[in-house]
Amino acid sequence: MVMVDIPKSHPRYESLMVREKLVSGFRGGAVACEGLIAQGRGEAFDYILGERTHDVALKAIKAAACVLLLAKKPVISVNGNAAALVVGDIVTLSRLLLCPVEVNLFYRSREREDAVRKILVDGGASSVLGVSDDASERIPGLLHERGRVSASGIFCADVVLVPLEDGDRTQALRAMGKTVVTVDLSPFSRSAQAADVTIVDNIVRCYPLLCSEIERLKGFDDAQLRGIVDEFDNQKNLSLMFTAMRDRLSLAACGGELNG
Ligand code: PTJ
């Protein structure tokens, strides 16, 4: 529900609508107060990126699609921000990959678990894990609430898609031998640095692209998918993202044309 009437002609219309989704998710109990701060942090990086999906990110999206298609037991982790922003794409991903979605919250409470589950179920999700007693397993070494996971979901998954994440869990999941795909507008973040595949892009732009890429690549055989994954180097990709940001900042510093 949009709280203010934003005219479509407003130059920041798209960005303001994204904000309204989060504020509405916050008012409905799904988004943590801290989730609004996280969005602001992301927006700052998105400005530097020129609010567009770079070729470097497209390469990461392709690798992520291959990793997810090759997975035996993928799981899509969902926090409050992701549910509020991209529920339709989360449901599409779970249908394309025939995998469950799991509620996993840093600021976990029964009320927030239920609010996030409701968004997912209303959005068409058929199997929502990680709510209440279902989140009874623990990721070794993670003492905070994000360490609680479902025995039939993240705990036994081989590949986990964890967007907008704090770094601890990415590292702990990798220590369990899992492959981690993340989405983060900040290439500096610990999760961006620790994941196997990091998509540095806004989740509202890259989740639809990830869905299309999975659709496009699902006819490929495992050897072809594996070849694409083997060619991908996350550290190199992150370096190229930093270079893209540096180039945009240099352009701005020289008074160059930033739109384009
Ligand atoms: O719903 P909960 O309780 O699990 O809490 C979710 C938040 C996001 C509050 C929690 O995971 C958190 O505190 O995350 P951080 O440590 O602030 O990290 C969030 C990261 O996501 C930051 O590096 C942001 O730059 C990035 N980010 C924020 N919004 C977006 C984003 N990346 C992509 N798309 C966005 N829209």
Per-residue pLDDT 10s for the chain (260 aa) are: 555 677 887 778 888 889 999 999 999 999 999 999 999 999 999 999 999 999 999 999 999 999 999 999 999 999 999 999 999 999 999 999 999 999 999 999 999 999 999 999 999 999 899 999 999 999 998 888 889 999 999 999 999 999 998 788 999 999 999 999 999 999 999 999 999 999 999 999 999 999 999 999 999 999 999 999 999 999 999 999 999 999 999 999 998 887 75
Query: What is the predicted pLDDT for the residue at 2?
Result: 52
Closest by CA to 83, choosing from 55, 48, 61, 112, is 112
Sequence ranges of the domains in the chain: 55-239
Query: What is the predicted pLDDT for the residue at 1?
Result: 53
For the stretch 34-64, pLDDT in tens is 999 999 999 999 999 999 999 999 999 999 9
CATH architecture assignment, domain 55-239:
3-Layer(aba) Sandwich (3.40)
Query: What is the predicted pLDDT for the residue at 75?
Result: 98
Atom of ligand 1 nearest to the CA of 44: 25
Going by the DSSP 8-state scheme, the letter that residue 68 receives in this structure is: H
Phi, psi of 198 (to 5 degrees): -115, 120
Residues 6 or more apart from 111 whose CB is under 8 A from it? 29
Query: What is the predicted pLDDT for the residue at 14?
Result: 83
Query: What is the predicted pLDDT for the residue at 143?
Result: 83
Does 113 sit in the ligand 1 pocket, CB within 6 Å? Answer: no
Lookup result for tokens 């993340």: 182
Lookup result for tokens 């699902």: 218
Distance 38 CA to ligand 1 centre (A): 5
Does 47 sit in the ligand 1 pocket, CB within 6 Å? Answer: no
Atom of ligand 1 nearest to the CA of 184: 32
Does 53 sit in the ligand 1 pocket, CB within 6 Å? Answer: no
- Count other Cβ atoms within 10 Å, centred on residue 70: 17
Closest by CA to 77, choosing from 172, 13, 5, is 172
